[in-house]
Amino acid sequence: MSLDGLKRFFVNEIEEHDFHEEFIFEWFENLGYDSDLYPIRSRCFVLSLHSNEEIDLQVRDAIQTDLDARTNLLIAEKFGQFLEQKPAYDILYTFSEQILAYSYFVTNKLQVAIELSLDFSKSVNMLYSSRDNIITKRIEAGTTEFMMHTRANILTSEFHRSVKTTYREFRKRQTTY
C-alpha cells in the first residue's frame, strides 16, 4: 500500500466510524508505533563501509542485542561532556549541533546500585526519545548507562533545556543467622 493510500484509508476509517483518539493510538501501537509515532521495535540507520578489500557482511536482527546501548556508550566515551559531577554519579551528555539533539548518560561511581531520574519537565519545546519527559533507571555499581535522547522541536523558534536530577542508593541487605 502506498503512503497516500494508507493516509486515505485512515481518513476514511476515522470519518466512517467516528473513532476516538485512544482507538487510533491503539491502531498505531498494533502497527508498531508509540503515541509519538516512534517505531517500537525498530530503528532505521545507514551503515557505510569503505574498504580497499572485499567485505563479507551478514545482516541479522539486532533487536535482542545491546548493539544500540554499546554504540551510545562509545559515543559518550569519546564525545561526552560533564553536565554534573557528584560523589555518587557523573552525568555526561553529547550535543549534535546539526539537529539540535542531546544524549544523556549516567556513570554510577558507588559500590552499590542507584536509581537515578532525569526530569526534563521544565524544558521548553523539546522532544524526547521516551514516552515521557522524566526517565528513571537503575544503574549498577561502577557502570555507565544511556538514559535518553532529547531534541529541540525545530518547528518552533526557540527552545530551552532544563534537567533536574534525583537519585537513591540501593543498600545491600544484611542477613544475620
Q: Is residue 23 part of a domain?
A: no
Q: Is residue 163 part of a domain?
A: yes
- Collapsing DSSP states into helix, strand and coil, what is residue 6? helix
The cell numbers describing 58, all together, are 551478514
Q: Is residue 37 part of a domain?
A: no
Cα(161)–Cα(40) distance, integer angstroms: 25
pLDDT score of 98 = 87
The cell numbers describing 82, all together, are 560533564
pLDDT tens, N- to C-terminus, the chain (177 residues): 677 777 777 777 777 776 677 777 777 777 777 766 666 666 566 777 888 888 888 877 666 777 777 888 898 999 999 999 999 999 999 999 888 899 999 999 999 999 999 999 999 999 998 878 999 999 999 999 999 999 998 888 889 999 999 999 987 655 555
Q: Is residue 105 part of a domain?
A: yes
Q: How many domains does the chain have?
A: 1
Give the residue numbers spanning the domain of 143: 67-169
Q: Is residue 146 part of a domain?
A: yes
104, 120 Cβ separation under 8 angstroms: no
Cα(23)–Cα(29) distance, integer angstroms: 10
pLDDT score of 105 = 95
pLDDT score of 45 = 66
pLDDT score of 175 = 52
Q: What are phi and psi of 121, to 5 degrees?
A: -65, -20
Question: Of 148, 137, 138, 144, which is closest to residue 77 (Cα–Cα)?
Answer: 144
Count how many residues are written for the chain: 177
Q: Is residue 160 part of a domain?
A: yes
Domain harbouring 89, CATH code: 2.60.40.1230
Give the residue carrying C-alpha cell 557528584: 86
The cell numbers describing 62, all together, are 539486532
Q: Is residue 135 part of a domain?
A: yes
Cα(23)–Cα(14) distance, integer angstroms: 10
Cα(33)–Cα(131) distance, integer angstroms: 11
Give the residue carrying C-alpha cell 533545556: 161
146, 89 Cβ separation under 8 angstroms: no
